Amino acid sequence: MFSHRVKIGKLEVSPPLFLAPMAGLTHSGLRQLILDFGGVGLLSTEMLSASSLPQENPSISPYLFRAQRERPMSYQLLVYSARHVEKAVEKIEELGADAVDINLGCGAPKVVKKGGGVALSRDVKRLREIVSKVKETTALPVTVKIRLGPRTDVKAFEDRCRILEDLGIDALYVHARFDKEPFARPPRWEIAASAKRALSIPVIINGGIFSIEDAKRCLEITGADGIMIGRGAAIRPWIFRQIKETLFDGKGDFDASKVNLLEVWLRFFDYLEGLFLPERRLGRLKEFTHYFSQNYAFGNRFAMAVQRSRTMEEARSRAMEFFEKNETPRVLA
């Protein structure tokens, strides 16, 4: 078994299993679905723009709405300038944040063009200003999420990690792919492991974790203090519980073959209906279904049926037709 907990600043995360920030996915609906199964140690928002965040209304914003049970929670900030930091951090403190994460890993062209995400990781002067301002503004644990850099250069990657540690961050999240690599590319856990060897703060590894075996191999290869799961949590919202029970509790009592996929999908549907304004629901249902459909051998038919839907009601009707014809799922190991 692996260590049951990790300390990030004053925050103890147990088990050391983290939900990754994902645009269009890491909202209250998915977070609550994950909590229904249990096993997650730290939840996250999706990426939040520090410049527009102070104007968001948390009672209706799909980016900020959260239920009381959604804790502990990290808020991830996309920051272009240090002048946006103070108000953004004050806002998330008002919302009950347990940690603040700075995005250095987003490679979306529109983000990079404005100097955010991976572009910020290359601008050391501006990076120092932003991280220092965050540390100055809050007593919350401060983390940073990065990628491996533009190419294979372990020394440059380690140097970048040390700069962040020297700035006083409390933990580092490493997405084990290069800056422009797609998700289809297998994660480079061996390179990510160099961050753990170089730093004294906790290092959490993200990328390519879809099963208990993936999680075990990642921890063994990297020596990481924990793992962060993204798309795997949308495919199988019960994955945190599986990993917790097997790798951290040594029990493995949870039987994924008994998960009723229809009930899970309908519960997510109901969360969207109950939590968000009508215009904020269908897109999120389609995004989730794109991943969740991978539990079926012919899940592409399920995903396409929902993608073609113009209303929530139509999506539900088409989904029910699929479920009636496909009672036997392919539950991933």
Residue with tokens 């969360």: 271
Query: Which two tokens mark 119?
Result: 């572009």
CB 208 within 8 A of CB 176: yes
Q: Give whole-number Cα distances, 85 to 89, 132, 171, 228, in Å.
A: 6, 10, 19, 25
Query: Which two tokens mark 276?
Result: 């968000």
Q: What is the DSSP letter of 187?
A: P
Run of H or E including 130: helix 124-137
Query: Which two tokens mark 32?
Result: 């609550």
Q: How far, in Å, CA of 19 to CA of 206, rounded?
A: 9
Question: Does the N-terminal peptide bond of residue 15 adopt cis geometry, omega within 30 degrees of 0?
Answer: yes
CB 321 within 8 A of CB 305: yes
Residue 148: closest CA among 156, 136, 137: 156
Q: What is the DSSP letter of 182?
A: -
Beta strands in 112-230 (DSSP E): 142-146, 171-175, 203-206, 226-229
Could you give the 3-state DSSP secondary structure of residue 299? helix
Q: Which amino acid is at 13?
A: V
- So which residues are the catalytic ones? 106
Q: Which amino acid is at 16?
A: P
Residue with tokens 């004050």: 90
CB 268 within 8 A of CB 281: no
Q: How far, in Å, CA of 60 to CA of 167, rounded?
A: 35
Query: Which two tokens mark 219?
Result: 């921890």
